[in-house]
RNA sequence: GCGCGGUUAGCUCAGUUGGUAGAGCGCGUCAUUGACGUUGACGAUGCCAGAGGUUCGAGUCCUCUACCGCGCACCA
């Protein structure tokens, strides 16, 4: 017996050595496969970009799940001799990373980012990002990912920055990107705007107060946020509401509302529900998205009363500089003291919080950059909008979403989509490629000239200097370009020609809108083609109690620990088997243990086969049933692979190997010399089928067989006759 | 409010197009000294959430109900 074949399989002894062999072979890079004659230059391609993990932290079991699925796809397709490319990368994750580093510095040094200054702070963030990056790369290798490291990208590196600036300028020139002053989602904690999608709703109990602005005010209104009411400039009622019709058009002056003067115009607007509350809506244009819209329709004045620190910015001594929550109590008390409060009722309410910082969102009017999703533009004589592009990509089946049910969710989301606020008041990210300089105007108000381009404009000695926009871009702007920015765009590279649109995008259903939709937007707009032909959505990995993995619960499992304990192959199998697309999965010790045992079983099968069989003598008629059976299995597995049913393929392989090959065929071979003769052949073919799922152990065993010159990873997938 | 998913053996879950229920773990009985005890053989356990319908036939299709989870919208 081969002395390398210890009685029990010891993964740690082999895994790193094998990964190194793979890397040294260069076969992760399709160019090398072509060069070495393993893949034909004219073969079909299979390409996939890695959803870049955030450098905020290191990988968790959810990432391991994603990597396992993708590596299975990639290894399978490579074995089909396709030109197979899987591009690695990491994501700078702007807000997430910045706020994490800010917290760290605050905790360790008691300083904030302004104490350090932009330059020094960014250095710290970059150091932090680099450290996490290195760990992430190490983790991905431990899991066995056959990523082409020679093409590794980072969402914030120079090449990607060029892509970002190029797209920004193109959209700016097409007037799809615009700058405007309007109500945005302001996160007082993170001190930045965020997009609608970055809001997380939390249900809390609130009190609905019904009151009048003053004793002689004719209409009562209801609100859960009395403190914003000092910013009211109108009361809106439904046009057909008989109760209030007579007041429409009038303006009422309120001399003292908690120390503020109000001027309230009564307006009629269809959007008001006469059944809700008093049927009258106090309009606060500066601090509500909906009220802002109403104010636009009726040319109402704007009265901001809350600042960026969620404090009252009014003159009233009662409220000035008070936190909004304090101001609420003060006003409630004031209303009661003045006998203006008519009703208080507890009510459930969804409050908006920022996904990354948990801060309570304060709608504020601000000058920001937006992508207009409804503006028409022409292409090939067709009138399009970004929304239409996003919708038709899926509706016309240019993109196929797996599982299908998410297509509906996608469509529904796009239909409700509003302009995307892309500017962030944070430092870590792609700086907006826009410069301004002051222009003297006749009436002495300041006006700016605006310049948008890839490179900064040259200063003119006769004129004031240009200065760049301070803001950075939403991280999803750069992620949206990922399928083509990683292939070298804006250069017209060979990679772009060869591998775009990518074959499949594999990612979690939780970022369908954040990311998948944005990639579709960017690619269809910039390149005029979809970013990928298929979307495979996986679910969440939960702990054994079904809870989401989260830091506060402390139930995060480090894939590296699991690998040490059970082997990379076992971790992959435990994650894959039984978990269909779009379904959440639970990870448990029992499952991991079961596949560790399976690896050992395979190992011992190898020991037996090597001792008892040779690579020959297939043509024995009495073994035909075994060969037929195997061919049926191969076919079954192949169909599953083609249809993204990895969870079924893996399970079937498990059963065949253990309960057919080991329990029946090997047992039979102990009694029948003829059966022995096909063991080697059958087992080698099985190793090929198993390889995408359990790459390490299969590669190791493969290397122990006689006549195995090539690495298993580039062997041909068993063919169907 | 609109929509989606789940509800199958003690536990965790499969069941791709409708043909009298499956796996792993756990449990029981037995076997086995050399591929593997990280083993093998055999076995027990299910009104497939509930009600109705289509069908020769439904876990699988349709309708409704209940509970759990999720997304979106509303949130004056």
pLDDT digits (tens, 9 = 90+) for A626-680: 888 888 889 889 988 998 989 888 988 988 998 889 888 898 888 888 888 888 9
- Strand intervals (E) in A88-224: 89-90, 153-154, 177-187, 192-194, 199-211, 221-223
Q: How far apart are CA A494 and CA A183, in angstroms?
A: 44
Query: Does residue A501 have a cis bond before it (omega within 30 degrees)?
Result: yes
pLDDT digits (tens, 9 = 90+) for A461-483: 888 899 999 999 999 999 999 99
Q: Say if residue A444's pLDDT is above 80.
A: no
Is there contact between A224 and strand B, defined as CB under 7 Å from any strand atom?
A: yes
Is there contact between A362 and strand B, defined as CB under 7 Å from any strand atom?
A: no
pLDDT digits (tens, 9 = 90+) for A124-143: 999 999 999 999 999 999 99
- Confirm if A683 and A657 have CB atoms less than 8 A apart: no
Is there contact between A652 and strand B, defined as CB under 7 Å from any strand atom?
A: no
Supply A174's token pair: 């097409």
For the residues A682-691, what does the mean pLDDT come to? 93
Q: Say if residue A617's pLDDT is above 90.
A: no
Q: How far apart are CA A657 and CA A650, in angstroms?
A: 11
Element of type H or E holding A24: helix A11-25
Q: Say if residue A547's pLDDT is above 90.
A: no
For residue A370, what pLDDT band results from cuts at 50, 70 and 90? very high
The pLDDT value given to residue A708: 74
Q: Which residue is nearest to nucleotide B39 (CA to C1')?
A: A601
For the residues A63-81, what does the mean pLDDT come to? 94
For residue A2, what pLDDT band results from cuts at 50, 70 and 90? low
For the residues A164-178, what does the mean pLDDT come to? 97
Q: Say if residue A30's pLDDT is above 90.
A: yes
For residue A550, what pLDDT band results from cuts at 50, 70 and 90? low
For residue A332, what pLDDT band results from cuts at 50, 70 and 90? very high
The pLDDT value given to residue A581: 87
Share of residues in chain A with pLDDT > 90 (%): 68
The pLDDT value given to residue A624: 84
- Whole-number mean pLDDT of chain A? 91
Is there contact between A604 and strand B, defined as CB under 7 Å from any strand atom?
A: yes
Q: How far apart are CA A503 and CA A644, in angstroms?
A: 12
Q: Measured CA to C1', what is the nucleotide nearest A351?
A: B75
- Interatomic distance A566 CA / B12 C1' (Å): 19
The pLDDT value given to residue A618: 63
For residue A158, what pLDDT band results from cuts at 50, 70 and 90? very high
Q: Say if residue A544's pLDDT is above 80.
A: no
The pLDDT value given to residue A577: 86
The pLDDT value given to residue A553: 67
Give the 3-state secondary structure of residue A628. helix
Q: Say if residue A314's pLDDT is above 90.
A: yes
Q: How far apart are CA A14 and CA A22, in angstroms?
A: 12
- Interatomic distance A658 CA / B8 C1' (Å): 25
Q: Which nucleotides of B are covered by protein (CB under 7 A)?
A: 3-5, 12-16, 23-25, 35-41, 71-76
For the residues A191-196, what does the mean pLDDT come to? 93
Is there contact between A565 and strand B, defined as CB under 7 Å from any strand atom?
A: no
For the residues A426-433, what does the mean pLDDT come to? 96
Q: Say if residue A180's pLDDT is above 70.
A: yes
Long-range Cβ contacts of A458-464 (<8 Å, 24+ apart): A463/A437, A464/A437, A464/A438
For residue A441, what pLDDT band results from cuts at 50, 70 and 90? low
**Over the range A343-376, which residues count as b (16 or more CB within 10 Å of their CB) and which as e?**
eeeeeeeeebbbbbbebbbbbbbbebbbbbbebe
Is there contact between A588 and strand B, defined as CB under 7 Å from any strand atom?
A: yes
For the residues A90-109, what does the mean pLDDT come to? 92
In chain A the first and final C-alpha atoms are separated, in Å, by 35
More confident residue, A588 or A574: A574
Q: How far apart are CA A313 and CA A303, in angstroms?
A: 10
Q: Which residues, other chains included, contact A107 with Cβ-Cβ below 8 Å and sequence gap of 6+? A: none
Q: Say if residue A442's pLDDT is above 80.
A: no
Q: Say if residue A514's pLDDT is above 90.
A: no
Q: Say if residue A450's pLDDT is above 80.
A: yes
Is there contact between A408 and strand B, defined as CB under 7 Å from any strand atom?
A: yes
Is there contact between A350 and strand B, defined as CB under 7 Å from any strand atom?
A: yes
Q: Say if residue A445's pLDDT is above 70.
A: no
Instruction: Report the alpha-carbon angle A142-A649-A588, nearest 5.
Output: 55
The pLDDT value given to residue A203: 82
The pLDDT value given to residue A585: 85
Q: How far apart are CA A55 and CA A164, in angstroms?
A: 19
The A 377-406 residues near strand B by Cβ under 7 Å are 405
Q: Say if residue A551's pLDDT is above 80.
A: no
What ipTM does this complex have?
0.90
Share of residues in chain A with pLDDT > 70 (%): 96
- Interatomic distance A337 CA / B45 C1' (Å): 70
More confident residue, A85 or A514: A85
Positive/negative CA dihedral, A358, A364, A368, A371: positive
- Interatomic distance A648 CA / B61 C1' (Å): 23
Strands across the sheet with A434-440, in order? A446-452, A434-440, A467-468
More confident residue, A582 or A161: A161
Q: Say if residue A268's pLDDT is above 80.
A: yes
Supply A304's token pair: 């901001």
Q: How far apart are CA A135 and CA A141, in angstroms?
A: 10
Is there contact between A467 and strand B, defined as CB under 7 Å from any strand atom?
A: no
- Interatomic distance A426 CA / B74 C1' (Å): 31
């Amino acid at each position: 017996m081969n002395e390398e074949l210890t009685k029990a399989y010891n993964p740690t002894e082999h895994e790193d050595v094998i990964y190194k062999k793979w890397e040294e072979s260069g076969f992760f890079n399709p160019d090398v496969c072509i060069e070495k004659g393993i893949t034909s230059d004219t073969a079909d391609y299979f390409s996939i970009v890695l959803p870049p993990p955030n450098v905020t932290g290191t990988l968790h079991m959810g990432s391991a799940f994603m990597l396992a699925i993708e590596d299975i796809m990639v290894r399978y397709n490579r074995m089909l001799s396709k030109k197979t490319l899987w591009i690695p990368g990491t994501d700078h994750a702007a807000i997430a990373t910045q706020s994490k580093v800010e917290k760290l510095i605050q905790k360790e040094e008691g300083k904030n980012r302004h104490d350090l200054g932009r330059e020094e702070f960014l250095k710290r963030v970059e150091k932090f990002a680099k450290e996490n990056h290195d760990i992430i790369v190490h983790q991905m290798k431990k899991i066995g990912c056959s990523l082409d490291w020679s093409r590794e990208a980072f969402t914030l590196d120079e090449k990607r920055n060029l892509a970002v600036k190029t797209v920004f300028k193109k959209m700016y020139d097409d007037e799809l990107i615009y700058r405007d002053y309007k109500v945005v989602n302001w996160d007082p904690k993170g001190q930045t705007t965020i997009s609608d999608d970055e809001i997380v709703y939390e249900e809390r109990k609130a009190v609905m107060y019904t009151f009048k602005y003053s004793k002689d005010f004719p209409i009562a209104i209801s609100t859960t946020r009395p403190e914003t009411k000092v910013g009211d400039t109108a009361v809106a009622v439904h046009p057909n509401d008989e109760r209030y019709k007579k007041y429409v058009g009038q303006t009422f002056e309120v001399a003292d509302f908690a120390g503020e003067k109000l001027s309230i115009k009564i307006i009629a607007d269809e959007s008001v529900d006469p059944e809700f509350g008093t049927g009258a809506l106090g309009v606060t244009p500066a601090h509500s998205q909906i009220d802002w819209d109403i104010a636009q329709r009726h040319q109402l004045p704007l009265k901001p009363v809350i600042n960026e620190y969620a404090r009252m910015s009014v003159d009233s001594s009662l409220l000035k500089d008070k936190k909004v929550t304090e101001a609420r109590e003060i006003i409630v008390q004031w209303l009661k003291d003045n006998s203006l409060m008519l009703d208080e009722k507890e009510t459930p309410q969804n409050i908006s919080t920022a996904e990354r910082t948990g801060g309570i969102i304060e709608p504020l009017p601000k000058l920001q950059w937006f992508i207009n999703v409804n503006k028409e533009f022409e292409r090939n004589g067709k009138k399009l909008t970004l929304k239409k592009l996003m919708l038709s990509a899926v509706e016309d089946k240019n993109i196929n979403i797996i599982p299908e049910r998410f297509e509906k969710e996608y469509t529904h989301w796009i239909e409700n989509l509003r302009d995307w606020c892309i500017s962030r008041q944070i430092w870590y990210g792609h700086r907006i490629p826009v410069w301004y300089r002051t222009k003297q105007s006749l009436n002495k108000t300041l006006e700016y000239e605006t310049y948008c381009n890839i490179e900064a404009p040259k200063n003119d000695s006769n004129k004031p200097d240009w200065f760049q926009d301070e803001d950075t871009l939403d991280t999803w702007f750069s992620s949206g370009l990922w399928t083509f920015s990683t292939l070298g765009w804006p250069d017209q590279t060979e990679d772009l020609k060869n591998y775009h649109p990518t074959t499949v995008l594999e990612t979690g259903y939780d970022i369908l809108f954040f990311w998948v939709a944005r990639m579709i937007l960017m690619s269809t707009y910039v390149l005029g083609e979809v970013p990928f032909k298929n979307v495979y959505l996986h679910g969440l990995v939960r702990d054994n109690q079904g809870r989401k993995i989260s830091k506060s619960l402390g139930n995060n499992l480090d894939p590296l620990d699991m690998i040490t304990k059970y082997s990379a192959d076992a971790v992959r199998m435990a994650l894959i088997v039984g978990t269909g697309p779009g379904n959440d999965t639970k990870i448990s010790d029992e499952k991991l243990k079961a596949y560790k045992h399976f690896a050992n079983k395979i190992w011992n099968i190898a020991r037996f086969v090597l001792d008892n069989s040779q690579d020959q003598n297939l043509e024995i008629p009495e073994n035909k049933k075994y060969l037929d059976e195997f061919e049926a299995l191969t076919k079954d597995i192949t169909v599953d692979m083609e249809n993204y049913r990895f969870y079924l393929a893996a399970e079937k392989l498990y059963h065949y190997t253990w309960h057919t090959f080991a329990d029946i065929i090997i047992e039979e071979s102990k009694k029948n010399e003829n059966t022995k003769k096909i063991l080697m052949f059958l087992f080698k073919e099985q190793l090929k089928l198993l390889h995408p799922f359990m790459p390490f152990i299969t590669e190791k065993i493969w290397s122990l067989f006689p006549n195995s010159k090539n690495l298993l990873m580039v062997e041909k997938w068993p063919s169907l006759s």
